[in-house]
Each structure stands twice: as structure tokens, then as C-alpha cells.
């Protein structure tokens, strides 16, 4: 089954100590969970995210996505993964089983009426590729259509709000010196 809008996403994860031993019995309130919607806004306060222990150091996170696109969950624990574990979920209008049997894949070929398990596996694999492409296209669109500014020998591209910097490049002349006029190259900061 696919990730369908307004349907709970349930995902399991394992907690291991430094020796690789599963850690059970961790109070769920020790985890910090941050949820991001497809436009990158943190929505943990408005969309309920739950964590529960399944068994033997296996835990489960769940939430219900309210819009289409790629949702991201970041789970942190101060002892076992302070940098966070994260996963992304591509949300569709329909679940994979209800998608029309005649689908054009990314190579342009068509497949029809394949067994459910093969269809689901193929679509899930494609959804990962689609999710990657969607992230890249979204970034390109922000660069091409959004606000940018040249200041202090740097070119800064901003997010949709026109305030948050997304990418900053140092501008150099043809001999590598910082420049505000006639840049020869841009170098990621």
C-alpha cells in the first residue's frame, strides 16, 4: 500500500546502543520528533506525531499527512542518536493499489496488469526516484523564480518567503578574486 493523503503513515525504527544491542524500555517522551510538510515548514505542533515501543528495541512513529508531496520526520534521542534519524515519505492522492494499471514509468515504457506485489514494489521503487526528482525540481524552481541578491561579493538565493537564504555563492573574477562586477564564476560558500 502506498502513502495516501489523510491516511496514517506508520514507520518502524530500531534503537541500538554503541555495542549494537537493541535498547528497549526507553520512555517515549525522551524522543524529540520534528515533522516537516512538503513546503519545508515544521508542523509538529499542528500535526500529531506519535512514538510507541513495538518490542525488543523496535519503536514505531506515526502521523497523518494532510497534503501531497514529500513529508520528512526527524527523530532524535539525546543518548542514542542526538544528530537524529530521518525519513521522507512521498504522499499521493491514492494508495498504490488504486493507481491505474496502465502506468508510464520513468523510461517511457508501459506496463499493465502485473501482479499486485510486483506492481507495488515497482511503484515504490519509482516513488523514491520521483521523490528525488521532485526535491531537485523544487530547488531549481526556487532558484529560477525566487528572489536573489548580490551583496558583499556573494550571490544569495532565497526561499519562497524571500527572507530565508537557501544557497550562497561567493562571486569571483577570472583570476579568483572576490568581485561584485563581471563575475567569472560562482563558488558555493
Instruction: Identify whether the C-beta of residue 103 lies closer than 8 Å to the C-beta of residue 15.
Output: no
Please report the pLDDT score of residue 101 as a whole number.
40
Q: Which three cell numbers stand for residue 119?
A: 506492481
What percentage of the chain reaches a pLDDT higher than 90? Answer: 34
Please report the pLDDT score of residue 1 as a whole number.
43
* Domain regions of the chain by residue span: 1-97, 148-188
Residue with cell 493499489: 97
Low-confidence stretches of the chain (pLDDT beneath 70): 1-2, 94-132
Residue with cell 514509468: 105
Fold of 1-97: Immunoglobulin-like (2.60.40)
Please report the pLDDT score of residue 131 as a whole number.
66
Amino acid at each position: 500500500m502506498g502513502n495516501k493523503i489523510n491516511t496514517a503513515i506508520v514507520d518502524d525504527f530500531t534503537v541500538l546502543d554503541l555495542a549494537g544491542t537493541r535498547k528497549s524500555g526507553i520512555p517515549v517522551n525522551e524522543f524529540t520528533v520534528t515533522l516537516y510538510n512538503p513546503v519545508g515548514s515544521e508542523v509538529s505542533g499542528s500535526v500529531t506525531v506519535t512514538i510507541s515501543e513495538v518490542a525488543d528495541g523496535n519503536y514505531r512513529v506515526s502521523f497523518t499527512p494532510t497534503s501531497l508531496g514529500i513529508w520528512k520526520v526527524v527523530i532524535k534521542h539525546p543518548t542514542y542518536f542526538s544528530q537524529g534519524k530521518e525519513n521522507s515519505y512521498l504522499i499521493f492522492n491514492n494508495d498504490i493499489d488504486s493507481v491505474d494499471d496502465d502506468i508510464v514509468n520513468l523510461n517511457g515504457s508501459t506496463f499493465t496488469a502485473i501482479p499486485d506485489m510486483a506492481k507495488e514494489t515497482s511503484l515504490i521503487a519509482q516513488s523514491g526516484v520521483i521523490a528525488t526528482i521532485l526535491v531537485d525540481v523544487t530547488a531549481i524552481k526556487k532558484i529560477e523564480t525566487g528572489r536573489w541578491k548580490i551583496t558583499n561579493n556573494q550571490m544569495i538565493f532565497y526561499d519562497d518567503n524571500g527572507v530565508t537564504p537557501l544557497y550562497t555563492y561567493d562571486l569571483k573574477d577570472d583570476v579568483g578574486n572576490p568581485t561584485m562586477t563581471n563575475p567569472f564564476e560562482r563558488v558555493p560558500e
